[in-house]
Structure 1
Amino acid sequence: MYDVSWANPNGDPMDENKPRVDEETGINIVTDVRLKRTVRDTLMELGHEVFLREERTEDGNRKTKEDIMAYYDNDPKKVLERCVDIRLFGGTFAIKGDDQNAFSLTGPVQFKFGTSLHRVKVELIKGTSIMPSAADKRQGTFTEVYVVPYSLLAFYGVANEKAAEATHLTEDDLDAMFKALWVGHKAGTDVITRSKFGHEPRLLVDIVYKPDALTHIGELNKLVAFRSEKADEAIRDISEGVLDLSGLAEKVAKYKDKIEKVRVLVSDRVRVAPAVEAVFAEIPVEPFPWSDET
């Protein structure tokens, strides 16, 4: 979970780049692609190699997938060995010179769309720029940006151990992804642009199931709620409500025999009820190995 203050968490390019909102419910939506972009960019900043990256040719054009694939000698094995994002999220690529051989892997890590825990209101902020446009060199141009004053967003994902065998995903890869999720929404370059600045990570939960468990809880984002005395659209800060984990606690109690351990990180500004220890009673709770770094 992370929140956004006076920013655009995920603009829709087909609708004036407005924040994505479900017209029926007023719920803010962020796509899984947007989340993965933040993870990839942050992984690169943390020193990991990723395949889906932006590179440009000498004349300034963006390199294609095929261009980058050539960098790995069109060898899928080299891509898997070196690129953590493909081991995490999979990918499909055509291999140059071999029209019959496509490189396709289902990613073991998948996320549902993120949704806000409350209704949001989209605001249009207008302004002016001191820099004139080419059409009118006498005065600056008008600017406008669509933002949400506040949105607390919850994502749910799964890491499938069977698909992980095909991509050679490791525990170290998963730890790197979790770190990128937290750091990416706190200090990553990806969220310090004008439209994105204002992100903060609030809660990260990793439920690790026992090796023989043939199930998982699922829909974790639907088991949490944000309780506030304010009307949804009037909420402006995480301190104006309580993160209600009672639904998660009830579900965890039914699955506790199938859970090996849980790893949790909570922002110090979040009020949680019941306490994390109560939510995961009788289950080992550990910090993430990098928690102290952040």
Structure 2
Amino acid sequence: MTINNGELLFVKSVKDGIPNRDPLQDSDVRRIFPEEDGRISLTDVSIKRDVRDYVIDAEPKGGKDKKNHIFVQEVFNEKGSLLGRGSLAKLIAEKVEKEQQARDDMKSVLLEHSFDVRTFGIVYSVRPKFNLTGPVQFGWAHSMHPVDSQYVQGTVVLPSKDTKESGIVDNEKGKTQGTIWTSYIVPFAVFCMPGVINAKNAEHTNMTIEDQELLLKGLWQGTLHRQARGRGQQQPLFLIHIEYSDPFFRIGYIEDLISLEPGDKVWRGNGKKPTSLNDIELNINPLLDALEENKGKIERCRIWVNNQLNIIGDISKYKQELW
């Protein structure tokens, strides 16, 4: 079986944290829309990191056939230095015992043994250089409603250094107390991220059906897996994968065919923004209408949904069991 052209739409929520901070804004939320718009955003890099980290742990040592190693990741050498592209590629070649082949043809080794190279593509700037456009391309994830971030602070009980037994000099007084921390958080937000799968690019990277299924599972379970205090409590809510029988067609901009209820008039009118899943419903009727209108060009459509999310629309013919 070969990969079909397809579209993805992934919706997730976060409570009490920021999944993807903006270093240019004191680690506050990322805002690519005007301030008055109110929406915040996550980069596609953040979403891919969730998938990659999931695969690293779900497929130890590259999986049983050693095909699911991850190329783009943080790895340090024995001196504590971060490995670059060339060293990361050589590390994979060593793990699959293909160092000799890699000297002449690193591209083939990575395509055979690296999940993220086959799926997301690669820019390999080490001689001999090569690059491949990934079959899977994500857009930015934007919140589906206006969001206010809050600036908070607290204290850590532990001092940063031990108190000297011989006494404390003036410039060390602060080290005898707990440190103060500050951070931005988002009380609650729901994000929607679109994506496409290009069948022709999949041929060039040797992406397989198994890679596609691992990607979908990684989006869902990777969101649950990659948790950290600053990133907040995250939950996958809704995932749709549309596969097309017509290689030159796609519905396009399917993120515009879903919406959160009760909508902007309520959130901007009284200033009360949603604070939990109990405050919202996901209306997907326009998307379901588009699926019906274009069913002659669609090979298959699958939908995964969190049972905590209230859906407006009948998804029974597309609904899948969660992993």
Same fold (TM over 0.5): yes
The CA distance in 1 between the partners of 2:156 and 2:262, in whole Å, is 38
Alignment of 1:190-229 (within 5 A): 190=226, 192-210=227-245, 212-228=246-262
AA paired with 2:116?
Answer: D
Is the contact made by 1:4 and 1:200 (CA closer than 8 Å) also made in structure 2? yes
The CA distance in 1 between the partners of 2:205 and 2:21, in whole Å, is 31
Displacement after TM superposition at 1:152 (Å): 0.5
Partner of residue 79, structure 1: 110
Is the contact made by 2:13 and 2:235 (CA closer than 8 Å) also made in structure 1? yes
- 1:1-38 Cα deviation digits (max 9, x unpaired): 10001110210111111111232411010011111111
The CA distance in 1 between the partners of 2:200 and 2:148, in whole Å, is 41
Displacement after TM superposition at 1:252 (Å): 1.9
AA paired with 2:107?
Answer: P
Is the contact made by 2:223 and 2:234 (CA closer than 8 Å) also made in structure 1? yes
- 1:194-230 Cα deviation digits (max 9, x unpaired): 11130000001111111x3411011111111000375
More strand by share: 1
- 1:99-137 Cα deviation digits (max 9, x unpaired): xx3120000100110011100010112101112235521
The CA distance in 1 between the partners of 2:291 and 2:231, in whole Å, is 34
Q: 2:283 aligns with which of 240, 244, 247?
A: 244
Is the contact made by 2:304 and 2:319 (CA closer than 8 Å) also made in structure 1? no
Partner of residue 119, structure 2: 88
More helix by share: 2
Partner of residue 160, structure 1: 198
AA paired with 1:257?
Answer: G
Matched, 1:126 2:125: no
Amino-acid identity (%): 29
Q: 1:58 aligns with which of 60, 75, 78?
A: 78
Q: Normalising by structure 1, what TM-score?
A: 0.89
Alignment of 1:1-294 (within 5 A): 1-21=11-31, 22=33, 23-47=35-59, 48-71=68-91, 72=93, 73-74=102-103, 75-95=106-126, 98=127, 101-133=128-160, 136-186=174-224, 188=225, 190=226, 192-210=227-245, 212-228=246-262, 231=267, 234-277=273-316, 285=318, 287=320, 291-292=321-322, 294=323
Is the contact made by 1:39 and 1:184 (CA closer than 8 Å) also made in structure 2? yes
Displacement after TM superposition at 1:234 (Å): 2.5
The CA distance in 1 between the partners of 2:298 and 2:247, in whole Å, is 8
CA 1:102–1:133: 2 relative to 1, 3 Å? same
Task: For structure 1, list consecutive stretches of 5 or more residues without a partner in the other structure.
Answer: 278-283
- 1:23-62 Cα deviation digits (max 9, x unpaired): 2411010011111111111111110311112111111111
Partner of residue 280, structure 1: none
- 1:52-97 Cα deviation digits (max 9, x unpaired): 12111111111111111223335110001000101000011123xx
Is the contact made by 2:42 and 2:142 (CA closer than 8 Å) also made in structure 1? yes
Aligned length in residues: 276
Is the contact made by 1:2 and 1:201 (CA closer than 8 Å) also made in structure 2? yes
The CA distance in 1 between the partners of 2:228 and 2:107, in whole Å, is 34
Residue 288 of structure 2 aligns to a residue in which SS? helix
Aligned Cα root-mean-square deviation (Å):
1.7
Residue 41 of structure 1 aligns to a residue in which SS? helix
Is the contact made by 1:49 and 1:84 (CA closer than 8 Å) also made in structure 2? yes
Residue 26 of structure 2 aligns to a residue in which SS? coil
The CA distance in 1 between the partners of 2:236 and 2:311, in whole Å, is 15
- 1:211-257 Cα deviation digits (max 9, x unpaired): x3411011111111000375265211112121111221232232111
Q: Normalising by structure 2, what TM-score?
A: 0.81
The CA distance in 1 between the partners of 2:238 and 2:119, in whole Å, is 21
AA paired with 2:188?
Answer: Y
Residue 14 of structure 1 aligns to a residue in which SS? helix
